[in-house]
Chains A and B, each alone.
Chain A
């Protein structure tokens, strides 16, 4: 079969070949021209664009995280400093498979299951470019081993860096806070590349958070020539970083640490003021987390343990826990009563209580005939019921506010609660109810609607001690001379006398006299009821821990020429004289005679089972062991309920709790404190 009828000969074939090879050559020349044209387009027309791309390939700009400013106490001793260390990070974007990278890391760095779980969680949450910390504070040998194995570990970045170091550990946790890698949200907000630079930390809580920019400094930059695999070829230009500023506090480091340790096994807080100028010398809240381990990146178990603890180690109780102040407000009430013309020497007969209509308001004892100083000394409710009833609570509330209760103070902390000083207008606004006379009686002795923070109690004590309207401050700066309060000195003298008798003349805190020859302390105990109490039953030993009364104590020293004022609150401590006053005694003793105070602390710590760190480590180990038991990994371990509190936590709770109603902020919040609203309702009326 033929395709066509044309007659093809050798000659015609040769001719067609010549034509067709010419065609091919022309086509080839066309393609060749296109090749050169394309090369010219790339190399000449788009040269600028590609030169730029080539340069951005070649030169890498690395930010050098600035050295974070230190936090120092009033004497310049560091509360938070930097320590140079070796660290290893993961850049999620460059990690092809976490499962491939983890085993060699576990092997080389000896990571625990806890660490691995934290890395996995962080890795999932991280936004690609954000470094995930694998390990910090590595030994040189470990660091070198990782560097050797880098070729098989894509996305693993070893670095020398600085890590935050808190020499006092948990003792300063709530005060200074802690640092950590910036969150993905923070980066999305500002798009500051510094935030995702490996090793860069921002403040996450406390002063570290609120004063972050002050301490942050300015990042340095390093231009360097790098290969595609990120290997450094040579360094081109460098701009050094500018260290952050030092943050100097009014805190007295030694006293802060002592107070934290002295709180011991209790849940509570200590606030100490210089009552002449408003310097906060100590603001301790215990138990606390260890900011060192928080700044390393906290493990899931550690977080779990802290957030489930009924002693609320994640809450800064000094500023965020609210308590009915109990009898600690009686000195303030005494000043209000005097202002409204009542002679402090007028006596009231206490027969064990006060009758209002058909209700009988109990006193703690039968004090007989008492005047104002005696009423303070013996903490006689009847006297204050009577006098409060006579002048009305609205007038006392005015004075309470003058002394700082219920007032908002601007302090550099992420969250504060300001409590409540109730009066008739407040009650009408809040509950649409008229103020009753029994409300007055309750509020006068620091129960009922009245709620304060330990910080406010200390401020009240400081203003009573000095008679000055001091403004609290925690950041050191030039001294300001506070104005005097509108309180006649003779009124103050009566109250000082009463508070002196409380401690030094057989009053309610007689056992807490300072063990010093020439310095005496004046104070006032308080016991705040936690639950509605039937009849005369108080929240004492027989009750589960969480329903026991709070113990409070406010004080100042020296009595004659007040310089220091303090408030101590022990959660469920069952009474001011029993739980709080001894702590205040030791803390004030430390100011004048540290050696003597330390002796008594060491004796106590022997019973408690060691220092804060030793106890926390043991607790963490026990928690992990129990957890492992729950997971069926190890045989059961006999728990050591050292404080006797752990067992109580399980009892069924149907009773309403008054104070620190903030829920444990555990599961959701990134910061350990929830920003809870003030004025929680549901205060107890006896």
Chain B
């Protein structure tokens, strides 16, 4: 082992994951500080605190054996499905779209956890399935039901963005598990064909968002306002940005949701293209770490879970950034770790915990083989 000033347990931490994570969270706090007009309250301080707590949680989860994840995969999936059902019933009673269960100390959002649970459960499913079975119908319809059940419940909330994320996460694992390629090509065609049906089954506000995504200037003071103002913020930032605490779009409230869903625009206005590139690069380092963990992993479960989580993280940040830059409809997905908010942060930290756990398992098996 390498000797040195730094003790081995710290040296052995997966810094290739932790450094970009800490960069993103730290940068996020700086941006939130600016978004609050140069104050740590109400956002930067609590976000930083939350990050520290959840980072501890992630490091703790990282020490859990990979087999334990296998064991809880289906039970966790089942419990979260039930929670989704409860939220749905509860929401129906209260007559609105409610997405969380108030546990007193935290507002638990089951759909957020489902983004991980679906990857976990589908990975576990293919892990159990013998290799020879992969070309059977069972390998297709069971995971599809497993995906569409929670996705449908989330869609009922209604939360198109999260439902899409759940479907994307599950399908990605199915793809990586080795299902025939033509199924995905055929499926893609089928989805395209189904788009008109989807269009007519959407809520008005969802349809509106799609329409305004296609032409934000058509409604500059209504729903398109978000996208227009966000593009103005990013575009006026230029290469180096307007400088820390100098973003007029966010400070003068022209940019709505400048500390949550549109925090990327707040950042890009003050830090410019440079900040945007650095942030995207940091996210990519995390995804890259996940993919490498997957490739190093000795068993199918580890491979599928790590790569599935990596893709989920990728979808998470890329959909948000696309939305903020007017490349995707406004779907209400935060920029994980960067936006103010606990749910996405917690989801990502659980991902990191699992990734570190798989990482440890592969290193250990490598050592002992």
Contacts and interface: CB of A to CB of B under 8 A. Distances in A.
Contacts of A4: 135, 180
A14 B284 CA distance: 24
Given A7-B132, A35-B322, A39-B273, A21 B236 contact: no
Contacts of A25: 288, 291
B320 to A, nearest CB: 10
B223 interface: no
Given A24-B176, A32-B284, A51 B238 contact: yes
Contacts of B254: 54, 57-58, 227-228
A484 B295 CA distance: 116
B333 interface: no
A655 interface: no
A31 B175 CA distance: 18
A40 B273 contact: yes
Contact of A9 (B131, B252, B272, B318): B131
Interface string B298-316: 0010011001000100100
Contacts of A20: 175-176, 178
A6 B252 contact: no
A31 B132 contact: no
Interface string B232-254: 11111111000000001100111
A50 B236 contact: yes
A28 B176 contact: no
Contact of B280 (A35, A46, A227, A229): A35
B327 interface: yes
A534 to B, nearest CB: 72
Interface residues of B, number: 51
A53 B217 CA distance: 13
Given A28-B287, A35-B280, A39-B268, A17 B134 contact: no
B314 A1 contact: no
B294 A21 contact: yes
Interface in B106-144: 131-132, 134-137, 140
A232 B2 CA distance: 61
B252 A51 contact: no
Contacts of B177: 13, 17
Interface in A39-72: 39-40, 42-44, 46-47, 49-51, 53-55, 57-58
Contacts of B232: 50, 53-54, 57
Contacts of A51: 235-236, 238
Interface string B264-291: 0000100011001100100010011001
A47 B294 contact: no
Contacts of B276: 36, 39, 43
A141 interface: no
Contacts of A10: 131, 300
A10 B299 CA distance: 10
Contact of B252 (A21, A50, A233): A233
A94 B351 CA distance: 46
B363 interface: no
A17 B178 contact: yes
B272 A43 contact: yes
Given A8-B131, A10-B131, A53 B236 contact: yes
A18 interface: yes
Q: What's the dominant secondary structure at chain B's contact region? A: helix
A17 B303 contact: yes
A266 B256 CA distance: 65
B9 to A, nearest CB: 30
Given A24-B307, A31-B318, A54-B232, A39 B325 contact: yes
Nearest to A47: B238
Contact of B277 (A3, A6, A14, A39): A39
Contacts of A28: 284, 287, 311, 314, 318
Contact of B235 (A6, A17, A21, A43): A43
Contacts of B137: 1, 3
Contact of A8 (B176, B178, B233, B307): B178
B63 interface: no
A6 B135 contact: yes
Interface in A256-291: none
A4 to B, nearest CB: 5
A54 B233 contact: yes
B50 interface: no
B280 A42 contact: no
Contacts, number: 149
A2 interface: yes
B231 interface: yes
Nearest to A56: B232
A44 B273 contact: yes
Contacts of B288: 25
Contact of B234 (A8, A17, A18, A50): A50
Contact of B238 (A43, A227, A233): A43
B80 interface: no
Given A6-B135, A46-B235, A50-B234, A36 B280 contact: yes
A227 to B, nearest CB: 5
A149 interface: no
Given A54-B248, A57-B249, A229-B253, A43 B300 contact: no
A225 interface: yes
A43 B268 contact: yes
A508 to B, nearest CB: 74
A18 B140 CA distance: 21
A18 B268 contact: no
A351 interface: no
A120 to B, nearest CB: 24
Interface string A187-223: 0000000000000000000000000000000000000
A54 B237 CA distance: 10
A226 interface: yes
A378 B232 CA distance: 88
Given A3-B137, A20-B176, A32 B318 contact: yes
A16 interface: yes
**Could you say which of A6, A49, A54 has the most chain B C-beta atoms within 10 Å of its C-beta?**
A54
B365 to A, nearest CB: 15
A43 B178 contact: no
A18 B296 CA distance: 10
A18 B295 contact: yes
A36 B180 contact: no
B321 interface: yes
A38 interface: yes
A13 B300 CA distance: 9
Nearest to A15: B178
Interface in A634-652: none
A38 B327 contact: yes
A43 B237 contact: yes
A414 B146 CA distance: 82
Contacts of B132: 7-9
B164 interface: no
A35 to B, nearest CB: 5
A217 B112 CA distance: 63
Interface in B331-355: none
Interface string A90-116: 000000000000000000000000000
A628 B221 CA distance: 44
Given A43-B235, A53-B232, A2 B135 contact: yes
A40 B322 CA distance: 13
Nearest to B134: A8
Contacts of B307: 17, 21, 24
A13 B134 contact: yes
B172 interface: yes
A17 B175 CA distance: 9
Contacts of B295: 18, 21
Given A39-B268, A40-B273, A47-B238, A32 B135 contact: no
15 contacts: A12-B131, A21-B291, A24-B175, A25-B291, A28-B311, A35-B327, A39-B276, A39-B280, A42-B235, A47-B238, A51-B238, A54-B233, A57-B252, A228-B252, A228-B254
Given A43-B235, A54-B232, 4 more contacts: A17-B304, A39-B277, A55-B236, A57-B229
